[in-house]
Amino acid sequence: MSLDEQARALLSEALTPKRRARQRLAEPLQRAQQVEVETPSGKIAAWRLGEGPAVLLVHGWQDDNSLWGPLIHALADIGIASVAFDLPGHGFSTGSNCTPVAASEAIEAVARELGPIDAVVTHSFGGPATGFALMNGFSVRRVVLVAAPRGRNKGWFRMAEERGIPVEVVHRARELYANDVGPERANFDLANVASPVETLVLHSMDDDAVEWDDNSQVIAQQWPNAELVLCDGLGHRMIAQDRGVIERIVTFVA
């Protein structure tokens, strides 16, 4: 294959999540009605549990609403409503690709359909996706970023290294992506959003998927009202379901 063909193949893989063999639903959401929200990327499966201003929950790459089961329970225990959904190409939602732009459009659409939204809690890829939405005018009182990467498509280099793909293919894929979506979107850096909203940034120092010092630490330094809380031994995904972390999140959004 030519360089451009290799780059397009890498780009397609990087933007196409792998679906789980079986779709999962967070246990507390079994008592909620599923709603289909129309977006440019397809129908988004979403759920609201509780009345009044809600906390919007945004999962990460190749994950789904089930990540948030323990947090939904904890919020419900003190009377706070939750809105959860599956990103495009994930879980019960339709679509195949899931660019940060498509994810941000889903966030805004779900917020309009199932709001009012008071706060947003994100995990991993959900952080940059929410950053895009904030830049587009999405407004909340508080934000929680759990194990959030800054973006910048750095994960593509890791993917290429694992598959033995030459680095020049990644650089060409980045060029093609910039041509497709525009340089500003292609070079998006969550740290540069520098949102003034009150923000809690959480990260486990043993996270081997997203390094805390090059991501959460920089975000917390550049967002004027952000607090960085570090822990250890929780890895990349478990942190979102840890009891101590959940207590910290609930206290913050409440």
Q: How much is the pLDDT for 1? A: 83
- In three-state form (DSSP H/G/I as H, E/B as E, the rest C), the secondary structure along 75-124 is HHHCCCEEEEECCCCCCCCCCCCCCHHHHHHHHHHHHHHHCCEEEEEEEC
Domains assigned to the chain: 3-253 (3.40.50.1820)
Could you tell me the sign of the dihedral formed by the alpha carbons of 211, 3, 175, 17, in that order? negative
At 87-118, the pLDDT tens digits run 999 999 999 889 888 999 999 999 999 999 99
Alpha helices in the chain (DSSP H): 3-14, 69-77, 100-114, 126-135, 155-163, 167-181, 183-186, 190-193, 216-222, 243-253
Q: How much is the pLDDT for 152? A: 66
pTM, two decimal places = 0.94
Mean pLDDT value of segment 61-76: 97
Taking a C-beta distance cutoff of 8 angstroms, is the pair 15, 181 a contact?
A: no
At 182-238, the pLDDT tens digits run 887 878 999 999 999 999 999 999 999 999 999 999 999 999 999 999 999 999 999
